[in-house]
Amino acid sequence: YVVDKGNHRHFMEKEIYEQPEVISHALSHYVDLADHTVRPADVAIDFKALRGLAISACGTAYLAGLVGKYWFERYARLPVEIDVASEFRYREMPLSVDQAALFISQSGETADTLASLRYCKDAGLKIGAIVNVKESTIAREADAVFPILAGPEIGVASTKAFTCQLAVMASLAVAAGKARGLISAEDEKDLVRHLAEMPRIMSKVLNLIQPQMESLSRELSRFKDVLYLGRGTSYPLALEGALKLKEISYIHAEGYAAGELKHGPIALIDENMPVIVIAPHDRFFDKTVSNMQEVAARGGKIIFITDEKGAASSKLETMATIVLPNVAEIIAPMVFSLPIQLLAYHTAVFMGTDVDQPRNLAKSVTVE
Ligand code: G6P
C-alpha cells in the first residue's frame, strides 16, 4: 500500500475519494457480495445470547458508534449503552456478562478507549474491537477483532475510517439480527444488496456533487457559526458534520438533533448562522422539514442536504439544496457523509488552513 497523495492536493481529499474502493473491500470481508448474505459475525461474540451491547469510543469513532446504536437496536433488537470513552470509564454503570462491549478506534491506540476496554474486560464482558490498525493495542486486547480495512488514514480529520466503521457496523447489525432470528432470509438479501450497491452509488455521488461543494464552501467560509441538524441516523451525521467543519476550518459549528432545535439553538437563528439540514426522505423527513420551517420563519439560511424525493417534496426556499440520489435507509449514513466531508474539506481549503494537520489536533491521542 503506497501512502502518497496521488493526484490530490491533500491526504484528506484523497481519502474522501478513496471511499468507494475501501468500503467495497471492507464489505467483502463481512458480506458475500454475490450471494447477498452476511458472513456470520465473529464466533467470539455470540450475538444470539446477548442481552445488550455497550459501545465506547472517542471523536469521530464515537459518532460512528452512535449511528451503530440505531442499527443494533433496530435490526438486532439489542439495547445499546454508548458513551464517549472518557466518561464511559468513570460512570460506574452497571455492566453484566450477558452484554458484550464494542470499542471503535481507527488507530487502536486511543488511551481513553483502551482504558474503557480494560474496564469492561475486568467486568467480565466479551470485547469486540472495530479497528483500522490490526496490530494495535486495542485489537490485541480484544476477544474479537473487526477490521475496517480502510488502509492507512493520514489526514487528521477522519473520513474513510468513519464510513468504513459504519459499513462494518451495518454488516454486523444485520449479522446480529440474523443470528437472533429477527431478519428473514429475504430481508437479509435486500439489506446486503443495498450494501453491495453502495460503493457504486458513492462514486456517482462524489462526481455529482463536487462542483457544487466547491462553490458552496466559498459561501460557507464567510460565516462564523454554523448549525447542523438531523434526525435518526442523520443526527450523529449532524454531529460529525459539525466536528469535521470545526476541526479543519476553525469555523464554530454545532450539531443538534433536529427536534431539539426549539429547546435552545433556535434562539441563535438569524441570517448570520447557516443551518445545514441533513434529511434523506426517510421516516423522519416530514418532522425534519417542519423544524426547517421554524428556521426559515426566523430568517435563517438553510443548506438542505437531501435526496431526489426530499427535494421534490419540500417547497422551502434555501441558500442551497444538495440533491443526492434516493438510497435505501441502511446506506444513507455512508452516502450522506460525502457532502458533509467535502463541505468541510473545501471550506478549509478555501480558508487556507492546514487541512491534513489542523492546529492543536493529533491523529492519535494516547494520553487520557
Ligand atoms: C483524534 C483524531 C480523530 C479521531 C479520534 C479517535 O481526536 O483527531 O480523528 O476520531 O482521535 O481516534 P481513534 O484512533 O481512536 O479512532
Residue 110 CA, closest ligand 1 atom number: 15
CA separation for the pair 72, 82 (Å, rounded): 12
pLDDT-derived band at 288 (thresholds 50, 70, 90) equals very high
Checking if the pLDDT of 2 tops 80, the result is no
- Ligand 1 in reach of 267 Cβ (< 6 A): no
Q: Is the CB of 314 under 6 A from ligand 1?
A: no
- Specify the residue with its C-alpha closest to ligand 1, atom 2: 363
DSSP-assigned states of every residue in 60-97:
HHHHHHHHHHHHHHHHH---EEEEEHHHHTTS-----T
Calculate how far, in angstroms, residue 60's C-alpha sits from the geometric centre of ligand 1. 6
**Among 190-194, 307-311, 355-359, which stretch is predicted with the lowest mean pLDDT?**
355-359
Q: Is residue 343 within 6 Å of ligand 1 at its C-beta?
A: no
SS3 label, residue 256 = strand
- 84-93 confidence digits (pLDDT tens): 999 998 998 8
Query: What's the angle, vertex CA 117, arms to CA 114 and CA 120, rounded to 5?
Result: 155
Query: What is the distance in A from the centroid of ligand 1 to the CA of 57?
Result: 9
C-beta 364 within 6 A of ligand 1: yes
57 CA closest ligand 1 atom index: 15
Q: Which atom of ligand 1 is nearest to the CA of 58?
A: 6
Q: Which of 103-112, 293-302, 303-312 has the lowest mean pLDDT?
A: 293-302
**Residue 106 CB less than 6 A away from ligand 1:** yes
The gap from C-alpha 227 to its chain's centroid, in whole angstroms, comes to 17
Helix (H) or strand (E) holding 137: helix 137-141
Confidence at residue 99, expressed as pLDDT on a 0 to 100 scale: 94
| Tens-place pLDDT, residues 150-163 | 999 999 899 999 99
- Ligand 1, from 84, 104, 110, 354: best to mutate by most atoms within 8 Å of Cβ? 110
Distance 169 CA to ligand 1 centre (A): 17
The single residue listed with the C-alpha cell 487502536 is: 108
Helix, strand, coil % in the chain, rounded to nearest 5: 50, 15, 35
Active-site residues, by number, are: 363
Q: Are strands 37-38 and 31-32 parallel, antiparallel or unpaired?
A: antiparallel
Residues 209-224 pLDDT 10s: 999 999 999 999 999 9
Q: Mean pLDDT over residues 52-63, rounded?
A: 98
Question: How many angstroms does the Cα of residue 106 sit away from the middle of ligand 1?
Answer: 7
Distance from the CA of 157 to the center of ligand 1, in angstroms?
A: 8
What average pLDDT does this structure show over 131-140? 97
Question: What CA–CA distance (Å, rounded) separates 245 from 346?
Answer: 10
The average pLDDT across 63-84 equals 97
**Confidence category of residue 289, pLDDT binned at 50, 70, 90:** very high
Ligand 1 site, residue 159, Cβ cutoff 6 A: no
Angstrom distance (rounded) from CA 106 to CA 130: 8
Residue 86, ligand 1, Cβ within 6 A: no
**Chain centroid to CA 91: how far?**
25
What nine digits make up the cell of 301?
439560511
- The grid cell for 280 is 434523506
